[in-house]
Amino acid sequence: MALINDFMSLIYPRHCEACGNTLFSHENLLCNYCRVNLPRSEFHLHPVNELRRLFDGRVPLQEASAYYLYEKSGRVQQLVHAIKYQQQQQLAEWIGSCYAEELFDSGAFTSVDVIVPIPLHKNKLKLRGYNQSLCFAKGLGTVWQKSILPEALERSRATATQTRKKKYQRWENVEGIFTLPSPSTLAHKHVLLVDDVITTGATIEAAWMALQQVEGIRLSVLSLAFAARAFA
What would the pLDDT profile of 116-166 be if each residue is shown by its tens digit?
999 999 999 999 999 999 999 999 999 999 999 999 999 987 666 545 556
- Residue 156 has, within 13 A of its CA and on its CB side, a CA count of 11
Fold of 39-231: Rossmann fold (3.40.50)
pTM above 0.75, yes or no: yes
Handedness of CA 216, 152, 115, 143 (dihedral sign): positive
Instruction: Find the mean pLDDT for residues 6-26.
Output: 80
To which H or E segment does residue 195 belong?
Answer: strand 190-198
Q: In the chain, what are the domain boundaries?
A: 39-231
Strands 154-155 and 178-179: antiparallel
Q: Which residues contact 199 (CB under 8 A, 6 or more apart)?
A: 162, 170, 227, 228, 230, 231
pLDDT interval class at 43 (50, 70, 90): very high
CB of 225 within 8 A of CB of 199? no
Which are the contacts of 2, defined by CB distance < 8 A and separation ≥ 6? 25
**Closest of 112, 120, 119 to residue 141, by C-alpha:** 112
Helix (H) or strand (E) holding 112: none
pLDDT at 85: 94
CA distance 139 to 128: 19
Nearest to 221 by CA among 18, 5, 12, 56: 56
68-125 per-position pLDDT tens digit: 999 999 999 999 999 999 999 999 999 999 999 999 999 999 999 999 999 999 999 9
Q: Which of 159, 161, 204, 208 is nearest to 180 (CA)?
A: 208
- Could you tell me what percentage of the chain is helix, strand and coil, using 3-state DSSP and rounding each to the nearest 5? 40, 15, 40
